[in-house]
């Protein structure tokens, strides 16, 4: 039989065009520009409570550390160096080797004042640099009055708020509203994300400085509290970027596909490969506050 006699399926051009359009619209938002390989420093030092997902047992790397190393390898996007020693590794000299830092920390870290000043006034303000805070990163340098605490103030200002308890314990399944589902760091979560994890509430929240991307949907959470509880947000810091995500208490979160994809996209976004706004949206915090008040009354 000759090759030329083989049947060729006739596909109408209109259908092909439709597939083409669907393929474009499906892939476009996650199609990153080429970016050079990213170097990440991940700090999981616990000077307060030590989470199981950052505990190194028998000298082996912790769950969260392994998850980030493997994500970098799988995507080919980044290399991660892990440390639990900020005094030795969170230094000006060492930071110069990195593009992004990740914190999953607690307590008052022994970062030297000159290294802190370099990080916050210079390093993080550089284009292509970023800070990613996971879960208890908000329970780091904690103070109830950051404006009066000069030593801790920078950290609160960078993060946007401070840990203030977790009415939703690790066994709770919560429903979260995604406010900006087109943002690359939110796209993997869809418009509504239901997930089991420990959820923090915050004091000294700065809605005028952050772009809140995900919040608890109080109408569908137990307990239902009469105030806004943000879960994830972004902000600019000079030409650098900040991404904070409350999730990550449970080991299971570190294998959750949406969570991992969000981190992958955050790296691309911080490095200039994906577009996403950091414009503050205080109106979202205000609207969520009203919604939560109404939900808690019912």
- Interface residues with Zn ion (CB under 5 A) are 198, 249
Question: What's the CA angle centered on 129, arms 126 and 130, to 5 degrees?
Answer: 125
- Torsion over CA: 185, 191, 194, 199 (sign): positive
Residue 88 CA: distances (Å) to CA of 40, 41, 96, 160: 16, 13, 14, 26
Distance CA 80, CA 260 (A): 14
CB neighbours of 96 closer than 8 A, spacing ≥ 6? 123
- Torsion over CA: 43, 45, 47, 52 (sign): positive
What token pair was written down for 8?
């060729």
> Which residue of this chain has its Cβ atom nearest to Zn ion in the complex?
249
| DSSP-assigned beta bridge partners for residue 132 | 102, 243
CB neighbours of 231 closer than 8 A, spacing ≥ 6? 176, 199, 214, 215, 216, 245, 246, 247
3-state helix, strand, coil in the chain (%, to 5): 40, 20, 40
């Amino acid at each position: 039989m000759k090759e030329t006699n083989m049947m060729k399926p006739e596909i109408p051009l209109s259908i092909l065009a439709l597939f083409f359009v669907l393929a474009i619209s499906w892939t476009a938002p996650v199609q990153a520009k080429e970016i050079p390989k990213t170097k990440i420093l991940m700090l999981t030092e616990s000077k307060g409570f030590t989470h199981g997902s950052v505990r190194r047992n028998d000298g082996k790397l912790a769950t969260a550390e392994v998850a980030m190393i493997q994500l970098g390898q799988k995507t080919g996007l980044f290399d991660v160096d892990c440390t639990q020693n900020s005094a030795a590794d969170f230094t000006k000299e060492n930071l110069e080797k990195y593009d992004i830092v990740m914190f999953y920390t607690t307590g008052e870290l022994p970062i030297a004042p000159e290294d802190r000043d370099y990080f916050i006034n210079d390093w993080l303000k550089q284009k292509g640099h970023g800070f990613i805070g996971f879960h208890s990163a908000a329970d780091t340098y904690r103070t109830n009055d950051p404006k009066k605490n000069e030593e801790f103030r920078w950290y609160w200002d960078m993060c946007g708020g401070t840990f203030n308890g977790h009415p939703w314990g690790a066994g709770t399944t919560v429903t979260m509203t995604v406010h900006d589902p087109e943002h690359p760091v939110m796209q993997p979560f869809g418009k509504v994300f239901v997930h089991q994890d420990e959820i923090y509430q915050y004091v000294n929240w700065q809605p005028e400085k952050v772009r809140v991307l995900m919040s608890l949907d109080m109408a569908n959470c137990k307990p239902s509290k009469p105030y806004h509880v943000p879960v994830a947000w972004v902000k600019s810091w000079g030409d650098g970027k900040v991404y904070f995500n409350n999730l990550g208490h449970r080991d299971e979160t570190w294998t959750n596909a949406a969570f991992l994809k969000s981190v992958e996209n955050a790296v691309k976004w911080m490095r200039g490969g994906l577009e996403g706004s950091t414009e503050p949206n205080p109106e979202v915090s205000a609207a969520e506050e009203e919604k939560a008040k109404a939900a808690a009354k019912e």
